[in-house]
Structures are given as C-alpha cells and as structure tokens.
Amino acid sequence: MSIASLSSIQESPSRSYPLVSRQSHPNDTVVTVGAARFGGGHFAVIAGPCAVESREQILETAHGVREAGAQMLRGGAYKPRTSPYDFQGLGEGGLELLALAREETGLPIVTEVMDSEDISLVARYADMIQIGTRSMSSFRLLQKVAQTGKPVLLKRGMQASIREWLLSAEYLLANGNDRVVLCERGIRTHDSEFLRNTFDLSAIALGHLETHLPIIADPSHGTGRADLVPTMSLAAVAAGADGLILEVHHNPAEALCDGRQSLSPATFTELCSRLSAYVDLEGKQWSPFCLAG
C-alpha cells in the first residue's frame, strides 16, 4: 500500500471499515431476533441474570422479565472471570437451562461464547451469540462466530476506542455476517472508587454517525451499580440507543456474580414502565413481549 493510500485512510477512518461505515450504507440496518428488532427506529430490551445458576433462578427471572416487557433473555453459561476461583458458569448445563427458559417463555436467548471450541455448541442453543468485552479483539473468534450465520451482539472492549470497536464489527461483516448489534458497556477510566466503568454515552451518539449497525447500551456493566442503572438507561435512550441489555436477578443479594449491578424484578418492572415514554419521545417503536405475545 502506498503512503498516499495510508494517508487517505488516516484522514477518513471510515475507509478502514467500509462494510460497517454509514458512508457506504446510509440506511439503518435492522437486526431481528424473534420478536426483538434492533435499529431502523426499533427498540428492544434484553434482560436476565449475569450467569445461569440454577433451574429455579433462570426460570423465575425469565418469567419475570417477560412479564415486565423484555423481548429477549440474557444469561451466561460460560463466564470470563478475573479470578480463577470465581464462579465460571454451568457450561452446557447452563445452555440447556436457557433453552428450557425459552421453551417456557418464548423469549429468544443471547449468551456469550469465549472460546472457538465452544462455538458450535453455543450456536446450537443460542438465538444470538454474544462477543464479550474481553473477546472483542479476538479476531479468529470473530471470524468463526460470523460463519455461524447467527445474529451477533458485539460488546465494546473495556479499553477499546470507538474505531477499534467498529473494526471488530468489520471482521464480522467481512466474513459474511451483517446481523450485528453493537453494545456500549462502559470503559475503564481513572474513576474506579465509585464506578465499575465509565458509561460512554457519546459512543452511542457518535456510533450512529459512523455506522449503520444498531447500537444498544449496557448500563449494568457501564456503571456497576444497580442504583444508577435506571437513570443511565433513560439517558441511553435519549442518546439514541436502539435497545438495552440489563442484568436482572430474582435475588441480587445472593447472585453468584454481578449482584451489585443487578436489578430486582420489581425494579426492572418499574423501569420498563418508565422507558415506554422515553422510547416514544425518541420516535422509536418498542413492543414489549408481554403485550406483543
């Protein structure tokens, strides 16, 4: 590549992610997963626990979030944990419980894949595959997940720039999968005393200028505090988010991971009732599952 070509890419970052760029695809992409639609004026809510812990826990939580209005269920079967001694998930047993929750509630499920060896197994159960923050730059993993043809939820890396995030999405599209939803989930900054991460609302607004892909927000990880999640959820809607992914646990005080940032079913229900007015104000369409089902 010539020096002139390199210069042109630096001057116009979108040229390095042509498939993701709004310049080459001016119309919003809409990604559909069951009853949930992301992008193009649509709004959807994904909710559920950080990790699948037991049959009772996932079924109770799944029924609760469905009744409140969630259109998708989240839950981790494989959990990337900083400490090797923390709960790592139930593996295939967790995937089986997610499938049972889908059977009982009708909610499509999204769950994370961490390792290329697990892709075919996760794809067998999941309606949407999540690439977590720690895996955003695992490019071989991105390529192989893209080839499943499943919708992909791509979380921003905790220390990634917006350009790096969009380039990771480019890997998915370049490998034939344009069913991609981006997720802003907070980035690490100097303020760790009160917040787990800094929730970057500007990434949602800027992201919509740069890309045609839907962008949702994760204020649970973005703040690390359940008492901030409702306020930041509403702020994310105002910033243009095409949806939310929220951690909800039937008993946050006893959660095996991320209990501090998990909403109770009652708080989630209250938040959903408030969200409707904000979504309407932004001119987006949200059909809560309990009303649409």
Q: How far apart are CA 142 and CA 131, in angstroms?
A: 8
Residue 43 has pLDDT above 60, yes or no: yes
What are the residues whose beta carbons fall under 8 Å from the beta carbon of 103, sequence distance 6 or more? none
**CA-based nearest residue to 151, from 170, 171, 123:** 123
DSSP H or E segment with residue 103: helix 92-105
Cβ atoms 89, 95 nearer than 8 A:
no
**pLDDT computed for residue 188 by the predictor:** 84
Percent of the chain with pLDDT over 90: 81
The DSSP output letter for 157 is P
**Phi/psi class of residue 235: alpha, beta or left (left: φ > 0; alpha: ψ in -120 to 50)?**
alpha
Phi, psi of 73 (to 5 degrees): -110, 130
Q: Where are the domains of the chain?
A: 39-292
What is the dotted CATH code of the domain comprising 39-292?
3.20.20.70
Least confident of 1-5, 28-32, 229-233: 1-5
Output the CA angle 216-127-144, nearest 5 degrees.
85
Cβ atoms 220, 257 nearer than 8 A:
no
Q: What is the mean pLDDT of residues 165-188?
A: 96
Percent of the chain with pLDDT over 70: 90
Can you list the positions of beta strands (E) in the chain?
31-33, 36-38, 44-48, 72-74, 109-112, 128-131, 152-155, 180-184, 215-217, 243-247
| pLDDT one-digit tens code per residue, 117-147 | 999 999 999 999 999 999 999 999 999 999 9
**pLDDT computed for residue 144 by the predictor:** 97
The DSSP output letter for 256 is S
**pLDDT computed for residue 201 by the predictor:** 96
| pTM exceeds 0.75, yes or no | yes
Helices marked H in 154-264 = 162-174, 201-210, 219-223, 229-238
Cβ atoms 246, 219 nearer than 8 A:
yes
Residue 44 has pLDDT above 50, yes or no: yes
| pLDDT one-digit tens code per residue, 47-104 | 999 999 999 999 999 999 999 999 999 999 987 766 776 666 688 999 999 999 999 9
Type of residue at 249: H
Q: Is 208 helix (H, G, I), strand (E, B) or coil?
A: helix
Least confident of 3-7, 179-183, 228-232: 3-7
Q: How far apart are CA 56 and CA 7, in angstroms?
A: 57
| pLDDT one-digit tens code per residue, 251-288 | 999 988 888 999 999 999 999 999 999 999 999 999 88
Q: What is the mean pLDDT of residues 217-229?
A: 94
Q: What is the mean pLDDT of the chain?
A: 91
Distances from the Cα of 35 to the Cαs of 128, 132, 240, 288, in angstroms? 13, 23, 20, 9
Residue of 188 and 265 predicted with greater confidence: 265
Least confident of 124-128, 160-164, 187-191, 200-204: 187-191
Can you list the positions of beta strands (E) in 64-115?
72-74, 109-112
**pLDDT computed for residue 160 by the predictor:** 95
Residue 12 has pLDDT above 70, yes or no: no
Residue 25 has pLDDT above 90, yes or no: yes
**pLDDT computed for residue 86 by the predictor:** 65
